[in-house]
Structure 1
């Protein structure tokens, strides 16, 4: 019988919904988040920004809490991806636009809907992230203030359930959602289990950059999603072959 196990390396937010989608497709999901996310507190400045930029769904909770504190959920929000945009709407923001997963397209959105003279942009991201987007926005004439609202730390060990599934050859697929998380997850996996997994399972990844990390680690069977989105990763996974 074809193994049903699918390891999901995505941290929350997003882990639970991906686990549910994997189960709905007939697979057996195994939660093994590659990163531990630490939230930071954000306070909005007295002079509110003209708009807020979000690079990840990880940033939404801190930003929404800060906006609620000053009753500013009507600030325009520009999200790089659709899921981040939806999380912002779910958190109460009323004016949200998505760049469909393309950071450069977000700059075009800003040029269409915002005027540089109307105030600064608040870019909320993880530690070490958002720097390139901030530079592009500044090149387009905008003043950008960047705030780190979370830090993603690599895990040190793979959980026992995942390790047991690998050793028992019950894993068919591993899902990877970023190059950073792929490198972190592989680094936490003992070499013997890495070799077992690369031989028995395929990887479904969100981008070619992630595929490069896996190829460097010796993986051969890799499927790359057609678009940089969680939905495209699920499309690439497909249904369990009954």
Structure 2
């Protein structure tokens, strides 16, 4: 019997991941914990922008709304974000293949504090401190809050039923906020005790900390904060790295 896991990513990313997992004989059930709302694009910076920093697929979508230019360099946190930027037409994209700290390190190695401002399009809540790290190195980094995650208020009935029936063996978590939302909804539904038969698969230590209050059968953390490393925990060799 195929392993069955919950995918807590937002719906568009979740659908793509569900299809990928099904190809690896893993039964993926969609359970989005966040939906996303984009704010109206602000006017582009008057100063010539040295580079944009993007930390998510939603950030890529926000950048496409923010600027008509596709030639300014873009530094992306990971391969999946970089692929989305390339799909949206951005011509100079480089991936840090990691987390916020890796993205800041890439910016230091590729960019010059004296060569112009950096624009960081982000959600309201971000992981890591890219602003502090690069500002301390003399970069003029300007953060624009371009979108926000809206937490779900209730578990879907089919997801709740499958958890109660013991049909879910694991849950995939990609962000601390999605993890905290899941914990809140599980507690609200009186399902906390059912987590002791499920494994939490976490993208990073921060994500694992966010879900640590549940009595999981096990908590497993990706070797690197990438989709590929997270899926490797499922022993799914047919996945694509991202």
Please report the TM-score for the alignment, with normalisation by the length of structure 1: 0.89
Please tell me whether the aligned partners of residues 41 and 62 of structure 1 are also in contact (alpha carbons under 8 angstroms).
no
Alpha-carbon shift at residue 210 of structure 1 (Å): 2.1
Pair 1:136-2:133 in alignment:
yes
Pair 1:89-2:111 in alignment:
no
Change over 3 Å in CA distance of 1:46–1:226 after alignment to 2: same
Pair 1:216-2:180 in alignment:
no
- Partners in 2 of 1:172 and 1:103 — Cα distance? 30
Name the residue aligned to 1:171. 168
Please tell me whether the aligned partners of residues 6 and 22 of structure 1 are also in contact (alpha carbons under 8 angstroms).
no
Alpha-carbon shift at residue 37 of structure 1 (Å): 1.2
2:190 to 183, 189, 192: 192
- Partners in 2 of 1:224 and 1:91 — Cα distance? 31
Q: What does 1:87-166 correspond to in 2, within 5 Å? A: 87-129=84-126, 132-166=129-163
Name the residue aligned to 2:240. none
Higher relative contact order (CA 8 A, sep 6+): 1
Alpha-carbon shift at residue 11 of structure 1 (Å): 1.2
More helix by share: 1
Name the residue aligned to 2:38. 39
- Partners in 2 of 1:134 and 1:213 — Cα distance? 22
* Structure 1 residues not aligned, in runs of 5+: none
Please tell me whether the aligned partners of residues 121 and 144 of structure 1 are also in contact (alpha carbons under 8 angstroms).
yes
Alpha-carbon shift at residue 140 of structure 1 (Å): 1.1
Number of aligned residues: 235
Alpha-carbon shift at residue 123 of structure 1 (Å): 0.6
Please tell me whether the aligned partners of residues 51 and 77 of structure 1 are also in contact (alpha carbons under 8 angstroms).
yes
Alpha-carbon shift at residue 113 of structure 1 (Å): 2.5
* RMSD of equivalent CA atoms: 2.0
SS across alignment from 2:45: coil
- Partners in 2 of 1:172 and 1:104 — Cα distance? 32
Post-superposition CA distance 1:9-34 (Å, at most 9, x none) = 11144212211122112122111011
- Partners in 1 of 2:189 and 2:65 — Cα distance? 42
Name the residue aligned to 1:17. 16
SS across alignment from 2:125: coil
* Structure 2 residues not aligned, in runs of 5+: 238-242
Name the residue aligned to 1:59. 59
SS across alignment from 1:78: strand
Please tell me whether the aligned partners of residues 205 and 224 of structure 1 are also in contact (alpha carbons under 8 angstroms).
yes
